């Protein structure tokens, strides 16, 4: 434990021979992509043979789980989903049918009114007002 007056001595961690883990890292395959200066990239390569900076674009999700995660990540509100569009289609059909039914009802009402207010042909027709 360090006390306030104590000075911590720095331990020289640089040994002449690197530890095994560094040697292993140094022997890792290199990227080799052409850099902007024209030299090959010396960064350690990943499984695809390139480094983290030269690995190229993502090729997208591979598993069903990844596809589902992507689908949920881009889902906004569902107002244009298959279900919502099907419901809108049904509403439109219902509105069109309702309009036709209302027109039919109005026609039937008109016909019924014509039946109940007969104009007897024997009565003299009122002459239009003149003057």
Q: Which residues would be at the binding site for Zn ion (CB under 5 A)? A: 31, 33, 41, 43, 51, 54
Rounded least distance, CB 62 to Zn ion, Å: 23
- Shortest Å, Cβ 77 to Zn ion: 41
Q: How far is CA 17 from CA 10, 14, 20, 48, 101, in A?
A: 19, 8, 9, 31, 93
Return the number of the residue (34 or 70) whose C-beta is nearest Zn ion: 34
**Gap between the Cα atoms of 83 and 3, Å rounded:** 69
The answer to whether the beta carbons of residues 31 and 44 sit under 8 Å apart is yes
Is the CB of 36 or the CB of 116 nearer to Zn ion?
Answer: 36
Spatial separation of the C-alpha atoms in residues 31 and 34, rounded to whole Å: 9
CB of residue 47 to Zn ion, shortest distance in Å: 14
Cβ-based nearer residue to Zn ion, 33 or 96: 33
Q: From CA 34, how far away is CA 44, in angstroms rounded?
A: 14
Min separation Cβ 61 and Zn ion, Å: 24
Residue number with CB closer to Zn ion (52 or 91): 52
Strands (E), the chain: none
């Amino acid at each position: 434990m360090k006390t306030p007056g104590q000075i911590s001595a720095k331990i020289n961690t640089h040994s002449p021979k690197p530890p095994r883990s560094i040697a292993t890292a140094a022997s890792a395959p290199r990227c080799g992509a052409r850099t902007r200066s024209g030299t090959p990239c010396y960064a350690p390569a990943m499984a695809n043979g390139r480094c983290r900076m030269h690995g190229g674009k993502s090729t997208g999700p591979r598993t069903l789980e990844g596809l589902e995660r992507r689908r949920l990540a881009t889902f906004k509100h569902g107002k244009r989903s298959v279900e919502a569009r099907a419901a809108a289609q049904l509403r439109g059909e219902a509105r069109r049918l309702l309009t036709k039914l209302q027109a039919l009802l109005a026609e039937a009402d008109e016909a019924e009114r014509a039946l109940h207010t007969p104009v007897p042909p024997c009565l003299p027709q009122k002459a239009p007002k003149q003057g």
